[in-house]
Structure formats: C-alpha cells, structure tokens
Amino acid sequence: MILIARTLYGLEEVLAGELREIGAEEIRTANRAVIFKGNKRLLYRANYLSRTALAVLMQISEFSIKTKDDLYRNCMGIDWDRFLKQDQTFAVSSVVNSRIFSHSGYPALVVKDAVADWFRKKSGKRPSVDTSDPHVIINLHISGSLVNISLDSSGAPLYKRGYRRASTQAPLNEVLAAGIIKLSGWDPSSDFLDPMCGSGTLPVEAALMACSIPPGKFRDSFGFMKWPGYDPGLFEEILKESEKKVSLPKMNISGSDISGEAVKKAQINVRTAGLEEVVRIRKADFRELKAEGDSGFIVMNPPYGERLKPEALNELYSMIGSALKHNFPGYKAWIISSDKEAMKQIGLKPAKKFKVYNGPLECVLAGYNMYQGSRRKEEVKSKK
C-alpha cells in the first residue's frame, strides 16, 4: 500500500529517516510530506512510533480529471465498503489547488455525495456525515488535474501525544519540538537544558527519545482502530515489542523557567508522561544558570512574534547571547525564532541554520557553538 506521512516544513528528511528505521520502503520526500510503501503493520507502527509525523494517510485511489463530473464518476468507482461501514460516520477534508474548481470547498461536497450515493445505490441506506468526530476521515488532495484520495489513519493529529495536561501561552507543537531536537544532533550522552521551557515540551520530548518511549504511548486511540479490518492483535504485538525497548539510561535532562506558573505546568506534564525520575524542572532566571559540565546542549524556544515589543525582544535576545557566552563554555545552543532582527542581538555566528515553521510563522532554527577559551584556539586544536 502507498502511505503518506504529513509533517511540518523543514522536517521532511528527519521524518524520512524515522520511517526508514521502522521499515518503510521506496521512500521519497515531498513538500511537508513523505511518501512510502508498507503494509498494515507498518501503518500501525508509523502512527505509534513516529515523532515527527502529523498524520499518516493510506492512499486508496489516484486518478486524473478534466471536469467536475470526472471527480464524481471516479469516486463512484471506488469500493467504499472496503473502507467504511454503512452504519459509520465520515467526513471529508480537502486541499484543492486546481483551475477546474472555482470554489475550493466544492470538491469535498462532490466526494461526500459520491460516497452517499454509492452506499444508497448498493443498499438503499447511506452513512452519515459527522465533521466533529467521524469514524472515518477521507482526505481529498487535488493538484491541477491530479486527484489523490486517502484515508487518515491517525484520527487526531499525532502531535496530540496525550501527556500535555497543562499549557502556557504559545506552547510548542510536540512534532516541531521533536524535530528541533533531532535536527540539533543531540544524543542522551550529552546534558540537555531548556532554560525557557514553558510547559516543558522540549525536555519531555528529549526524555521520550532518550528512553525509547513511543510518542503514541499516551494516546487513547488512532483513526485506523475504527476501520473495517482493524487488527487489534497486531497492534498489541507492536505495543509489546515497543515496551521491551524502553530503558532509563543515565542522563541529565532539565528545564527551567523564570515563571513559577510555567514551572508548575511543566511539572504536571512531566508527571503525566511518567518522567519525574528523568526530567528535572525548576524555577530559575537564565542569567543565573551555569553549566553543569564541560559540554552539553541548550535547546530553547524564546518569545517571538507578537508576544513582546521589538525593544523588549532585542533586550531579551541580547541577554540570551551574553548568558550563553559567559556561562556555558563548551556547550552547543539551538534557538528557534521568527524574529531575524532579535536573533542578531545574540551576537554569535550560527554554525548551522535550518528553516522551519512554527504554525504560520517562518522561523530559523540556529545552532551555535560556545567554545572553551578562545574560538581560534579551539579551531586550531580541531585541525591538528
């Protein structure tokens, strides 16, 4: 079967690597997506194990159209009872970029009508539409004349892990947090610190990775569980296999925040994830924190966008740069922000940069090296 995993812009290669590790074949990346081949087992595994997928779709039909009627006719040719029971509910989500349709919402109505008419023609009855909590989500994608119809096997988006019970203002998407950590190159042998942790998403995601805890562990359900042909025995097998790989290696993962309220919320989320023995959360001012070792990783999501005025942002980012340079020699720091002017105030030259999106905001994820002693000495040493 052809499967499509959706992700955030900038995380396509990260997701492709994840899928390769869990057994995906014939992998190719697209814009905000990875297309691959697999079976039912891989479909379940991709949902349960992938940290950087937003959703996993199973393609059920692909065809070309020239007119609006072509869409209806081709949809009537799909054996819908393979994917949907007559007494179940369904919804159609759509992404349309085609001159064939003057209104982007119209094709979804055509597909809804085709599904209803197909069942009515077969049995005289039809499944109902439920846009709030459907049993089956049909995904329609039209680009020019090419139509792809898929089923959403995830249900609720996969960034909804299930451990975040408390939120601060502008919490970081869990998929983006996991992608940032993977792009940073961090591994559990290095210290990990988020000094502006908010609700604790970055340290929690780091700990889940380090302990090999599946991101799907805290979810109650996935979309594929409502499909005809769902195999609960196979899914239980996957759960047991994954549980055997969970471990608690020795590591130092911590988060801090100047806000006592944020710290309380982060601690709630850490407890919900069962990571109290792994992740340390404390109230602290970043300016007063010191390195706990000779090296480590700082990964942070400071305020940006509309949350602070430009003068306050510039002052904050200048403080971040000063704290990094003076208090964390030997560390690597990764900072995500949409504010390019504020980023300049850090006063360090990025060693690496990635373009990513946080919701609608185009951001840069910048990596900095804090050298022990002078930079020149460190560079000379590395060339020997």
Nearest-angstrom CA–CA distance, 274 and 5: 28
**pLDDT 10s digits, 213-223:** 999 999 999 99
Mean pLDDT of 266-274: 97
Q: What is the pLDDT of residue 306?
A: 73
Q: What is the pLDDT of residue 374?
A: 44
pLDDT winner (highest mean) among 108-122, 305-319, 368-382: 108-122
Residue 285 in this model has a pLDDT that exceeds 60? yes
Q: What is the pLDDT of residue 373?
A: 60
Which stretch of DSSP H or E encloses residue 175? helix 174-184
**Cβ burial, residue 197 (10 Å; 0-12/13-18/19+):** buried
Domains along the chain with CATH numbers: 2-152 (3.30.2130.30), 174-214+240-383 (3.40.50.150)
DSSP state letter for 290: -
Mean pLDDT of 206-215: 98
For 334, the token pair is 């990764």
Mean pLDDT of 53-74: 98
Residue 305 in this model has a pLDDT that exceeds 80? no
Confidence bin at 308 (pLDDT 50/70/90): confident
Mean pLDDT of 46-74: 98
Question: Are residues 89 and 69 in contact, defined by beta-carbon separation less than 8 angstroms?
Answer: no
DSSP string computed for 47-115: HHH-SS-SEEEEEEEEEE-SSHHHHHHHHHTS-GGGT--TTSEEEEEEEEE-TT-SSTTHHHHHHHHHH
Q: What is the pLDDT of residue 384?
A: 47
Which stretch of DSSP H or E encloses residue 326? helix 310-327
Q: What is the pLDDT of residue 371?
A: 85
Q: What is the pLDDT of residue 381?
A: 46
> How would you classify residue 144: left for phi > 0, otherwise alpha for psi between -120 and 50, otherwise beta?
left
